[in-house]
Amino acid sequence: MKKILIASDHAGFNLKEKIKSYLSGKGIGFRDLGTYSRESCDYPVYAYELAANISNGKYKKGILICKSGIGNSIVANRLPGVRAALCDNVRIARLSRQHNDSNVLVLGSGFVKPELAKRIISTWMNTGFLGGRHLRRVKLINQIDKKIRSGLK
């Protein structure tokens, strides 16, 4: 299994460190893109770097963490091919994979505590995309993205 990416801002740093221990314990390889401390930083820098690596195909999946998860979601979803899902429960994590083929899991450290984060991550990583009518919709998302990027309305 190829490594997954993980990144956070200062508000997500503590949760990220706990998630890294969890991933290591499960034998899941990861690459930490930062931040590496609780010192104040700007989440868009980390969200963009992770999402760019997903968008260009270097990595297939990533996990982003900030206080609410909203900012990271906004940044990550601006890049083509990135389907970032902000998940605060196991059911949403499962549906984000089954229906949307999400490739970036976003967690809000202010809303998801470590034990719940572990359950969300386990579900998200072990749930497959259902395809079928959901594939048609993911393809439509990609078509809309191409139209936007080409300047067409």
The answer to whether the CB of 4 falls within 8 A of the CB of 29 is yes
Could you count the other beta carbons within 10 Å of the beta carbon of residue 6? Answer: 25
Collapsed DSSP state (helix, strand, coil) of residue 36? coil
**Annotated catalytic residue within 41, 66, 87, 134:** 66
Q: Which residues contact 146 (CB under 8 A, 6 or more apart)?
A: 80
From the candidates 10, 41, 87, 99, give the one annotated as an active-site residue: 99
Residue 87 annotated in active site = no
Helix 13-25 crosses helix 114-126 at what angle (to 10 degrees)? Answer: 50
Phi-psi category of 101—alpha, beta or left, where left has phi over 0 and alpha has psi -120 to 50?
left
66 counts as catalytic:
yes
Active site residues: 66, 99
